[in-house]
Amino acid sequence: MRKRANSGQILLIAAFIMASLLVSAQLYILEVGKTSGETESDTLSNFMLNIQSGSRNVVIGSLANVSNGGLSNALELNLREWVAFIANQYSHGKSTLYYTLRDTARYSSGIWLDWSLNGYGVSSAYVNFTHMLSGFEADVDQSYPMNITTTLLIASTNRRLSENTKQVNVTINVQNEAEPALARQITIYYRVSSNWLTPDITNNYTLLDYGNGTYLASFVATFPTESVEVSAHIADCRDIYVQANATSIEI
């Protein structure tokens, strides 16, 4: 009789146990879902693009450094650090970046600086990259060249105003990777005897920006000799420095 009287309570207890099992199972599923809610989603292609973009920045920064008088091996040093840094950044596999600095007649350790006298100046860096990535998604080898080149072309004409006074025009053309580019800073020089002077307001100096990478500098100066030599020194928007010299042609 006593056993029969308790059977209803046992039924209720069993129901409570079942209910708590159901709820706790659901809570567990929810918790597991939450931990995977914040997922690392740097997929393979995105990571490769990321590294390509970063490598480009390293080459640009290094060329800016070298062209502004920094160490000639700055590119090598920076790339070595970059490669070591990114080796541990891919959480879904193994990432290895190899680089080869171009060494040809023009390039030395990936750098070519030519600031010659014929109206042409170039500051360039050239590196070949190979990115090897082995991950959960796939194994990929990607090779790409990285050519960063700032080119400066100048041409000058002058017109005699009086015996020794001349109006000088200098046309400046700036290019990044053979595309028109803007300059961040332009300084013009002209040569008087052995001194290089910068024209200022007393020389009626003007600098016209055409907005397409072409600039026209004009000034009036006194030249004791017939020959008029000019020089343009520029830093492009990436801080890469380049200069070019030219002999002005009288018109």
Q: How far from the centroid of its chain's Cα atoms is residue 60's Cα? A: 4
- Is residue 216 at the binding interface for other proteins, with CB under 8 A as the rule? no
102-111 in b/e form (b: 16+ CB < 10 A) is beeeebebbb
d(CA 44, CA 42): 7
Which one of residues 2, 3, 30, 251 is an interface residue with other proteins (CB under 8 A)? 30
Number of residues that bind other proteins (CB under 8 A): 54
CA–CA dist 64, 70 (Å, integer): 8
Min separation Cβ 155 and other proteins, Å: 29
Q: Is there binding between residue 1 and other proteins (CB under 8 A)?
A: no
Question: Rule CB under 8 A: is residue 2 a binding residue for other proteins?
Answer: no
Task: Compare residues 67 and 245 and give the one whose CB is closer to other proteins.
Answer: 67
Report d(CA 79, CA 83) in Å as an integer: 6
Report if residue 37 touches other proteins, rule: CB under 8 A: yes
- The CA–CA distances, whole Å, from 187 to 33, 156, 218, 240, 247 equal 62, 15, 12, 14, 16
Does 124 participate in binding other proteins (rule CB under 8 A)? Answer: no
Our finding on whether 249 is near other proteins (CB under 8 A) is: no
Segment contacting other proteins by CB under 8 A, of 21-29, 108-116, 185-193, 206-214: 21-29
Least distance in angstroms from the C-beta of 222 to other proteins: 38
Among 2, 3, 12, 105, binds other proteins (CB under 8 A): 12
143 is a site residue for other proteins (CB under 8 A): no
Residue 219's region, left for phi above 0, alpha for psi from -120 to 50, else beta, is: beta
Say how far apart CA 21 and CA 26 lie, in whole Å.
Answer: 9
Q: Are 76 and 99 in contact (CB under 8 A)?
A: no
Residue numbers 53-112 binding other proteins by CB under 8 A: 53-55, 57-58, 60-62, 64-65, 68, 70, 78, 81-82, 85-86, 89, 91
Helix pair 74-86, 44-67: axis angle to 10 deg: 160
Q: Is 149 in the site for other proteins (CB under 8 A)?
A: no
Segment near other proteins (CB under 8 A); pick from 10-18, 157-165, 181-189, 212-220: 10-18
Nearest CA-CA partner of 56 in 147, 141, 124: 147
- Chain residues binding other proteins by CB under 8 A are 8-9, 11-12, 14-16, 18-20, 22-23, 25-27, 29-30, 32-34, 36-43, 46, 49-51, 53-55, 57-58, 60-62, 64-65, 68, 70, 78, 81-82, 85-86, 89, 91, 237-239
